[in-house]
Structure 1
Amino acid sequence: MSDGRDMTGAPSGASGALWRLPGFTEVRELGAGAQGRVVLARHDEGGGPVAIKYLARRDGDVPEVERLRDEAAMLSRVTDEHVVRLYRFVTSRHGAALVMEAVDGVSLGRLLAETAPLEPEAALAILKGSLLGLAAAHAVGVVHRDYKPANVVVRGDGLSKLIDFGIAAPAGEGSRSGTPAYMAPEQWRGEAASPATDVYAATCVFFECVTGDRPFRAEAAAGLMHRHLNEEVPVEDVPERLRDLVARGMAKEPGARPPGAEAFVAELESAAAEAYGADWERRGVRALAVAAVALAALFPLGAAAIGSGGAAVGVSAAGAASAAGSGVGAGAVSGGAAAGGGVMAATGAKVAVAVGAATVVAAGGGTAAYVAADRGEEPAVRPVAAVSTLNQSTPLPGRPALQVQNAQFIRISGLPDADLLRRVNTALRAPLDQAIQGLRRQVTGPVFGEANRPRCATVGSRAAVRYSGPRLVSVLYEFETRTCSVADEQPGFKGAVNVDLRTGRALTAADIFRDLGPNGLAALTRVMPDIGDAQRDCLPGGRLRRADLEPAQAGGAPIQVVFTRERAELTLVAPGLACGTFVVWPVPYSGIMNLIKPEVAALLPGASPSPERT
């Protein structure tokens, strides 16, 4: 994302409608209104299609532009295949422009208008894809607050994508913004929004998908508020095997719902597999693909080229009127969106444009152009990482039972190969299993004799997914163990694991780095930030050793590598009195990628940025 300062050479005083970003060739105007216009364009360097929303600038609107800038910065952090990408936010004296991803598909609102109710497997596939998009936003502290059918695109391959973050906000911010039919009780009360707020809205939409009607209806907003706040969810309208899922997702109090979208995905997959078999998602995605492609035929085709590939683009007044009249993307500026505006605020136009054997639509919110096309490809299923909890008690002869209490670990679902899935999940849970075995050895070993027998033996953990991609998952654990013997209590410690989803192997430091000899370690030390005395105390002799990253014996290294979306982190996992605990050396990918083996670099989020991102 970048700012631009009058880069266009437009004449002084030119209106926002005439302003064009350099580096993009405009193909077609998709919509225009009082605030500006939305166009389909081609990125000259990369050649890919993008949607550009131009906002006209007026005297005195500096605070509004700055608010847009802040919101764009927030949304640019959400990088996930299930969320429309915001590539660039540019301002000049003529206006502001948002460069966004051009997404293949048709709105879920339109699809429901034509085909509701959906088969349960198709409705579950929609819910899963949307939850994955919401989870990506939640991971960076963003709550959507306006999830509804108009803000979901169903692509021609049957997968879905979340659009329009017009009233998105940091978690914890409260307001009554939203679309009334899908607003959670806490939104109606003006309380703080949280990931559980989006879970409620997503479950409302799932209810509509699977039943053909919204969970609550009323003639006026006051009646709708009363029903969302007080009435039981009509789960009897939902297929019996999915009723518990709906009841959980639409619980009146946020604390009674799954805490976020990622946790809800795990519950969804378990319920779906139990109700409809292991192949439910494949069937659901195929059904959605058929529905989306069938809907594309409702719009006329035309002829105009996008890019050198010659994908055809055309427009018909009849098609545009049809799209607008039928409500494609309708409601994108309903409720608080109309009042609050935002990065994805509306231009006030609904336009349909045919692209090749497909359809490009500018939603009422002007958030993106999206194209429906049947490529004949098998739908890809992205693995999902979710938190699970272990509680168990193991008798120990002559010792108190070993208690595992609320120990979190990460598990993956969605891999088609059952044996690979087993290996991946075994590797992801290994740090917890090692911590359990370590405590068992401690309390049954010679350290504790009869005179100082431990009064308890408990272990717990917190697990966080630091990065989850299609080929790699990186997890950080925090452990706490207790023996109820004050003199022997230990501070908490950490563990990390990076699992290659192609092989199921946990990657060691030797797997990750090109060279762990003196030269490689010296290069790695140079890119580690200087944290002063703490670094010198944490690194014996003031330098990094191979044993710090990969000791010969089992039990983990004191410094382990964790991957995130933005950087790699060298994390001190073993407590030490000399430098304190949990020291982290953050290293941007730009500084470390040349030290990482190419086959591992290919798995990382910083390795191969999209050529369309500017």
Structure 2
Amino acid sequence: MKGIRVPEEWRVGGFTEVRELGAGAFGRVVLARHDASGRPVAIKYLLTADAGAVAALRREAELLGRVQSPHVVRLYQFATSADGRAAIVMEAVNGVTLKRVLEEHGRLTPEASLVVLKGSLLGLDAAHRLGVVHRDYKPANVLVQGDGLSKLADFGVATHAGQASGAGTPLYMAPEQWQRQAAGPEADVYAATAVFYQCVTGRPPFAGGSQAALMHAHLSEPVPLDDIPEPLRRLVWSGLAKRPEERPPVAGDFAAALEDLARTTYGAGWEHQGIRALATGAAALAAAFPLAAAGLGTGGAAGAGAGAAGAGAAGAGGASAAGSGGGAMAAVGGTKVVAGVALGAVALGGGGVAAYQVAKSKPKQRPAVQQVAAVTTPVSFSNPDSGMFATGAQIITVKGLRDTALQARVNQALRKPVDDFLAQERKDWASIKGGSVAPQWRRLNKARSAIFKGRAGLAGPRYVSAAYDMRRWIYAGGGSMGQVRTVTVDLQTGKTLQSTEMFQPAALTPAGVRTFNQRVPLPANMRPTSPNCDYSLVARTAPNTGREIYGADTLATRTLLTKQGVEFLFGGNIGGECSAYGWTPMPWAKVGDLLNPEVIKAAR
């Protein structure tokens, strides 16, 4: 048998070795059977007694042994021998790596790709909640089992969030990892998005050439989106943003956005369709399933159906490199360390068998009333193509919701006016980038930061409301163009309130529009700058075209809810002769007959 062999005199007690799954310079992984229960497990033996290597393996077990997620391969035991060597016992699962699936099939359906991304994002989120960053997310570390479900494995170069990082696999490394800067959860989001890109297109977003060329592409080149289906491009663009602050902050936020997008784009049954497609793809590689090859079937620890089993822990899916930082934790047969049960169930010494029961932590007592807060979060944006950038952009986010997936949806909805503005900027640039004005426009964009000012209004208990002043620079005389817009989000559903939900039906009729314009006065700071400028609150008609600019159906985008009442936005299209804007605050008592009574009741 190939590979360096662990001396026969030491095996983790209580297990019988069945077959070797993989071997490398620093260790080997074997499939074994737990003598007492008959359950299959994977055991990774470290082939050195070097104190640093053993300490790294112990630290890894301590770091990740508390992770309880059906999307992460479980760690059962850390064991040491009398002469100082170490091993970990982990869940054995029946399947193959995503790398093998892609090698066999080239690419996956969008639904299957979204299923893979969702499962491993949830696995990453379980680690992120402990302050742990994976740092080496790639197809070889996503394991697909025969039923189409997937698990995340191989935390061998994981670290605490905020530590400098050069480790990883170059095809999927985030820009900050290339620059050896602090690695946060956003680095894992970047790598997961790069793998998703490969699932959909059959290739990584950046590939080929020298390592220096690959580094330049990750740091500077725009993401090629032509082969990504249109509905998925925003997801990819967000996850592969060059700056970490422009990506979803944690994997859970990204997973929530994915869920909404998948349901909207592919229907309520998208996940079932994706799992079925993955199962079909994995079935073609069934002969490589480690348990099946060893005649152990899919029972025991590996056959728990919808979540307990993963896909190919330490399977023969190929070695997993740790980029420039492998060291003692360099790959063995596609796996370094995997995790899952609480730390209380992990034996951290001796050679005995740890308890197989998951140590359930006592649920935390939560307050009866949620204390929700709206905060201004500074982020940065950039479009390397047009030169547009923004530093210290203000995004309104909420914190304090118990349901983290719901909180992610709320924050995505709160950010949508900004995302729409950025999308329009990219569209505008695409329309002029080949023209004569493009160089001047790009110089202006690169010279001055765009402006994104956020202001929070009402923040709970039912709704959160925010306003944004967004401006970017244009070639015409060096001026700016932009928008002022509002958004109100339901904290129970994560959905944006439309005008028909915020206001009474009668208020949106022609008679109701006249009532609005009569009752809500023009702000004192606004005076028409041209005879063509009509600053009515609703039903403004554009000069010369006759087109309605501020229809009643868009009133919600110019209404900010506050504790005291409502602020109405006049104007708000910045650029041109009619670019003035201002706010008129109105107490609840003066608008009660115009707004939906349920909105007033929940807001007051």
Shorter-chain TM-score: what band? 0.5 to 0.7
Matched-pair contact (CA < 8 Å) for 1:186–1:197: yes
Write the letter of the residue equivalent to 2:328.
Answer: G
Question: Among residues 190, 214, 233, which one is paired with 1:200 in the alignment?
Answer: 190
> Cα deviation per residue 1:291-331 (whole Å; 9 max; x = unaligned)?
1112214689988654997999xxxxxxxxxx9xxx95335
Tell me: CA distance 1:217–1:185, structure 2 relative to 1, closer, same or farther (3 Å). Answer: same
Q: 1:76 is aligned with what amino acid?
A: G
Matched ranges for 1:148-227 at <5 A = 148-227=138-217
Tell me which residue corresponds to 1:97. Answer: 87
1:66 Cα deviation (Å)? Answer: 1.8
User: In the alignment, which of 404, 409, 418 is matched to residue 401 of structure 2?
Assistant: 409
Cα distance in structure 1, aligned partners of 2:250 and 2:300: 42
* 1:3-18 matched pairs, under 5 angstroms: 16-18=7-9
Distance in 2 (CA, whole Å) between partners of 1:436 and 1:122 is 37
1:145–1:198 contact (8 Å) kept in structure 2:
yes
Q: How does 1:291-306 map to 2 (within 5 A)?
A: 291-297=281-287, 306=296
Q: 2:55 aligned to 24, 43, 66, which one?
A: 66
CA distance in 2 between counterparts of 1:230 and 1:308 reads: 46
Report the Cα offset of residue 483 of structure 1: 8.0
Look up the SS of the partner of 1:140 in the other structure.
Answer: coil
Tell whether 2:14 aligns with 1:26: no
Structure 2 distance, partners of 1:174, 1:186, is: 9
Aligned match of 2:114 = 124
Query: What are the superposed Cα offsets for residues 480-499 of structure 1, whole Å, 9 maximum, x if unpaired?
Result: xx989xxxxxxxxxxxxxxx
Residues 1:88 and 1:283: Cα distance change in structure 2 (over 3 Å): same
Question: Aligned runs of 1:199-348 on 2, under 5 Å?
Answer: 199-297=189-287, 306=296, 329-338=317-326, 340-342=327-329, 345-347=330-332
Give the Å deviation of 1:257. 0.5
Q: Do 2:18 and 2:31's aligned partners in 1 also have CA atoms closer than 8 Å? A: yes
SS for the counterpart of 1:436 is coil
Residues 93 and 291, structure 2, Cα contact 8 Å, conserved in 1: no
Whole-Å separation in 1 of the counterparts to 2:278 and 2:163: 35
Q: Deviations over 1:208-241 (max 9, x none)?
A: 0001111011311100000000011111220001
1:420-474 superposed Cα distances (whole Å, 9 cap, x missing partner): xxxxxxxxxxxxx9963899xxxxxxxxxxxxxxxxxxx99999xxxxxxxxxxx
The answer (yes or no) to whether the contact 1:196–1:260 under 8 Å persists in 2 is yes
CA contact (8 A) 2:77 2:88 kept: yes
Is the CA contact 1:388–1:411 (under 8 Å) kept in the aligned structure 2?
no
Give how far 1:341 is off: 3.2
Q: How far off its partner does 1:93 sit?
A: 3.0
Q: Name the CA distance, whole Å, in 1 between partners of 2:318 and 2:23.
A: 15
The amino acid across from 2:265 in the alignment is: A
Q: Determine whether 1:53 maps to 2:53.
A: no
1:38 Cα deviation from its structure 2 partner: 1.6
Figure out how many residues of one structure are paired with residues of the other and give that number.
355
Distance 1:175 1:104, change over 3 A: same
Find 2:30's aligned residue among 20, 39, 45.
39
Equivalent pair of 1:405/1:460 in contact (CA under 8 Å): no
Give the C-alpha shift of residue 21 in structure 1. 1.4
Written as runs of structure 1 = structure 2, the 5 A alignment for 1:517-532 is: none
Q: Superposition pairs for residues 109-120 of structure 1, below 5 Å? A: 109-120=99-110
Shift in Å, 1:408 = 5.1
Q: Give the counterpart letter for 2:207 in structure 1.
A: R
Contact 1:167 1:336 in 2 (8 A): no
- For 2:577, the equivalent position in structure 1 comes to none
Larger radius of gyration: 2
1-side partners of 2:322 and 2:300: how far apart? 37
Residues 302 and 253 of structure 1: CA distance in aligned 2, closer, same or farther (over 3 Å)? closer
Alignment of 1:186-585 (within 5 A): 186-297=176-287, 306=296, 329-338=317-326, 340-342=327-329, 345-347=330-332, 363-365=333-335, 406=398, 409-411=401-403, 436=461
Structure-2 change in CA distance of 1:337 and 1:102 (3 Å): farther
SS in 2 for 1:247: helix
Aligned partners of 1:308, 1:239: CA distance in 2, in Å? 36
Deviation at 1:29, TM superposition (A): 2.4
Higher relative contact order (CA 8 A, sep 6+): 2
SS at match of 1:409: coil
CA distance 1:141–1:17, shift in 2 (3 Å): farther
* Structure 1 counterpart of 2:503: none
- State the partner residue of 1:593: none
- How far residue 278 of structure 1 moved from its aligned partner, in angstroms, is 1.3
Q: CA RMSD in A?
A: 4.0
**Residue 45 of structure 1, CA deviation:** 2.5
Unaligned stretches of 5+ residues in structure 1? 1-13, 313-322, 348-362, 370-386, 393-403, 415-432, 440-458, 464-481, 485-614
Looking at structure 1, the residues matched to 44 and 463 of structure 2 have their Cα atoms a distance apart, in angstroms, of 57
For the structure 1 residues 115 and 303, does the alpha-carbon distance in structure 2 shift closer, same or farther, using more than 3 Å as the test? closer
User: In structure 2, what residue type is equivalent to 1:86?
Assistant: L
2: CA distance, partners of 1:328 / 1:232: 35
Taking the aligned partners of 1:158 and 1:240, their CA distance within structure 2 comes to: 25
Between the aligned partners of 1:110 and 1:77, the Cα distance in structure 2 is 29
Equivalent in the alignment of 2:382 = none
* Distance in structure 2 (CA, Å) of the matches to 1:304 and 1:331: 20
Unpaired runs of at least 5, structure 2: 303-311, 340-369, 376-395, 407-457, 465-487, 493-561, 565-604
Any idea what SS the aligned residue of 1:237 has? Answer: coil
Change in 2 beyond 3 A, CA 1:104/1:284: same
The corresponding residue for 2:72 is: 83
Distance 1:303 1:254 in 2: 42
Partners of 1:166 and 1:337 within 8 A in 2: no
The alpha-carbon distance between structure 1 residues 74 and 255, as it changes in their structure 2 partners (threshold 3 A), is: same
Identical aligned residues as a percent: 55
Deviation at residue 18 of structure 1 after TM alignment: 3.8
Determine the C-alpha separation between the residues in 1 that align with 2:328 and 2:114: 31
Tell me the distance in 1 between the aligned counterparts of 2:58 and 2:260: 40
CA-CA distance at 1:337 after TM superposition: 4.8
SS in 2 for 1:88: strand
Equivalent-residue separation in structure 1 for 2:58 and 2:245 (angstroms): 33
Letter of the 2:401 partner, please give it.
Answer: F
The 2-side partners of 1:364 and 1:17 are apart by 23
CA distance in 2, matches of 1:229, 1:305: 47
Superimposed CA distance per residue, residues 73-102 of structure 1 (whole angstroms, 9 cap, x where no aligned partner): 001122211111111111123411110110
Distance 1:308 1:129 in 2: 20
Amino acid at match of 2:281: A
Q: Is the 8 A contact 1:17 1:54 kept in 2?
A: no
Q: Any conservation in 2 of the 1:102–1:368 contact (CA below 8 Å)?
A: no
Please say if residues 146 and 178 of structure 1, whose CA atoms lie closer than 8 Å, have aligned partners that are also in contact: yes
